[in-house]
Structure 1
Amino acid sequence: MIWDTHAHLDDPRYREDFEHVLENMKNAQISRVTNIGYDLPSSQHSVELAHRYDFIYAAVGVHPHDAEGVTAETWETLLQLAKDEKVIGWGEIGLDYYRDLSPRSIQQEIFIQQIELANQAGLPIIIHNREAHGDLLKIVQEHPPKYGGVFHCYSGSWEMAKVVLNLGFYISFAGPLTYKNNRQTVEVASKVPLDRFFVETDSPYLPPEPYRGKRNEPTYVREVAAKIAELRQLSLEEVAQQSFQNAIRLFRVQG
C-alpha cells in the first residue's frame, strides 16, 4: 500500500485515459494520491477530484510561477477551500529561481503570505524549491509553519537536508532519485531518518527510470520506493508502510 503524496491528476495529459490511469494505480497497490494545487483553478479541481474518489486527497495553494497574479480574492477562495475535509495540505508553494516566471521579490512575499494562511487554516505546507535554497531556508526559519511541512521532490544536498530535518520538515523523493549519476539525492535518501520521508511522482512530470521520456503516473511511484528499499536494504513493503505512516502523521488523516 503506497501513497503517492504529490501528483497533478487534473493535468490535461490525463484527459483521454484518466480512469485507466486510476485502474493501473489500484492494480499496482497505490492506495492513496494527494492531488496538488498550483493556482486557484487547479486547487478547485483538486478538491473536486478528492470528492469524486475516496482515495484522492487535495492540497491547495499558489506555485511561485503564478505568484504575480495573486489577488485578495485568491486568498479568500483558497481559505474557503482549505476548510474542506479532504484538503490536507497547503501547496505547492515556495520559490523557483530556475525559471523565474515571477519576480523573486514577489515570490518571496507570496510564499510568506501562504505560510501565514496555512497556519491560519491549520494545514502543513508543501514546498517547491528550485535553485533557491538560501532564501527559502531563511524564510521558513523566520516564518515557521505551525503545522510542519514537506520539501517535495527534494533536490538539495545532505548538508541542507540536515537543516531541513532539524526544522522539523519531511523530505519527499520523486523520479529523479532513480536517475543515473544523481549522487546528491541518493546520498540524502540513504541517510534521511526513516520516520521523515515520503515518496511521490509529481505526475505527469519527472518519470522515474525506466519510464523517462514518457508521461508519469502514480503507478510509477513504486520505482521510487524500490530505489529507497535498495539503498536502505529494506523490502519494498517496509518502505511503502513507513512512508505511508509518515504521511498519515504529517497530514493528520486516518490510516
Structure 2
Amino acid sequence: MYIDSHCHFDFDVFDDQRDALMSRCLASGVGGFLVPATTQSSWSKLASLITYYPEWRAAYGLHPYFLGEAELAQVDLLGEQCDTDRVVAVGEIGLDCWPGAIDMAIQVDFFSRQLSVAKSLQLPVIVHSRKSYDLVLKCMKGVKFQHGGVVHAFNGSFEQAKRFLDLGFVLGIGGTITYPRAKKAHRVLAALDSQAFVLETDSPDMPLNGFQGQINTPLAIPIIAQYVAAIRAENVEQIAMQTCDNLLRVFPKWNEGSL
C-alpha cells in the first residue's frame, strides 16, 4: 500500500469527482491520505470529510501564504481543533519567501505560535518551507520544538536535510523529482537514508513531468514511487513499504483510526 502524505483532497476542485477518484486511488494501491488544512475557513469542511473517508487523516493549521485572511485569534482555536479524532499533526504551517507572501515578521509570529500549539499537544507538524529552511530551523530552535513531522516538498541541500532529520523530521518527496532538470533533488534523494523520506503529491498542485497543466491527484503516488526507486536503485515495493513505515513512525496517532 502507498500513502500520500500531503494532498489537499478537500479542495473544491475535487468536489465533483472525489468519490470516483477515491475509488480509483484505492484500486491503484493508494490506501492512505494525509490532508492538511490551509486556512481556518477550511477546517470545518475537512472535519466533515474525514468522517466520511476512513482512509483520510487530517492536520489543521494556517498556511503562511494565506495569512492575509488570518487573525492571531485563530491560533487560539487551533489546539481544540487538533485535539479531535483522526488528527495526526498541526499543518500546513511554515514560512514562505516567495514573492507575494505576507510580511516575514508576521509569518514568523504565526509559525512560532502554531509550533507552540503543536508542542503543547505533543503533535508533529507539516512544514511548508519555501526558500526559508534556515529560518524555519531557527524558529523551531526558538520554540524548542522536538516532535518532528514532515518537511513538505523538500528541495534543499543534503546538509539542510540532515539538520531536519536530526530533529526527527522526514522529507516529503513529490513531483519535483520526476523532472530531468532537478539534478540536485536527485542527488539528495539518492544519498538519503531509507528512513528519511515519505511520498506526497500536493494535489491538486505540483504536477509531474509530462502532466503540466493538469490537475494533480494522489493517483500520481505510484508514479513518483517508480521514479524514487529508479533514482535510488531500489525496487518499488521497497519504496512503498519503507515510506509507509516512515510515515507511521512520524505520525504515531495514525493508527488510532483504522485503514
Same fold flag (TM > 0.5): yes
What secondary structure, in the 3-state scheme, does the structure 1 residue paired with 2:46 have? helix
Following TM superposition, by how much is the alpha carbon of 1:68 offset from its aligned partner in structure 2, in angstroms? Answer: 4.3
Alignment partner of 1:140 is 2:140: yes
| 2-structure distance, mates of 1:196, 1:42 | 30
Alignment partner of 1:9 is 2:16: no
| 2-structure distance, mates of 1:129, 1:72 | 20
What secondary structure, in the 3-state scheme, does the structure 2 residue paired with 1:7 have? coil
| 1-structure distance, mates of 2:221, 2:44 | 25
1:20-68 CA distance string (max 9 Å, x none): 2111111111010011111112233222221111001100000112334
1:91-118 CA distance string (max 9 Å, x none): 0111001134211100011110010001
| 2-structure distance, mates of 1:97, 1:73 | 24
Alignment partner of 1:168 is 2:174: no
Q: Specify the code of the residue in structure 2 equivalent to 1:29.
A: G
Structure 1: gaps (5+ residues): none
Q: Specify the code of the residue in structure 1 equivalent to 2:82.
A: A
Is the 8 Å Cα contact of residues 37 and 60 (structure 1) preserved in structure 2?
yes
| 1-structure distance, mates of 2:19, 2:155 | 31
Q: Which has the higher contact order (CA 8 A, sep 6+)?
A: 2
Q: 1:26 to 1:171 in 2, by over 3 A?
A: same
Q: Specify the code of the residue in structure 2 equivalent to 1:111.
A: F
| 1-structure distance, mates of 2:198, 2:23 | 22
Calculate the TM-score normalised by the size of structure 1.
0.95
Aligned to 2:154: 154
Aligned to 1:129: 129
Is the 8 Å Cα contact of residues 203 and 218 (structure 2) preserved in structure 1?
yes
| 2-structure distance, mates of 1:79, 1:45 | 17
Aligned residues: 255
Alignment partner of 1:63 is 2:63: yes
Instruction: Indicate the percent of aligned positions where both proteins have the same amino acid.
Output: 27
More off after superposition, 166-175 vs 57-66: 166-175
Mapping for residues 1-255 of structure 1, pairs under 5 Å = 1-252=1-252, 253-254=254-255
Q: Specify the code of the residue in structure 1 equivalent to 2:206.
A: L
Is the 8 Å Cα contact of residues 47 and 87 (structure 1) preserved in structure 2?
no
1:218-253 CA distance string (max 9 Å, x none): 010112111111112211111011000111111112
| 2-structure distance, mates of 1:148, 1:50 | 23
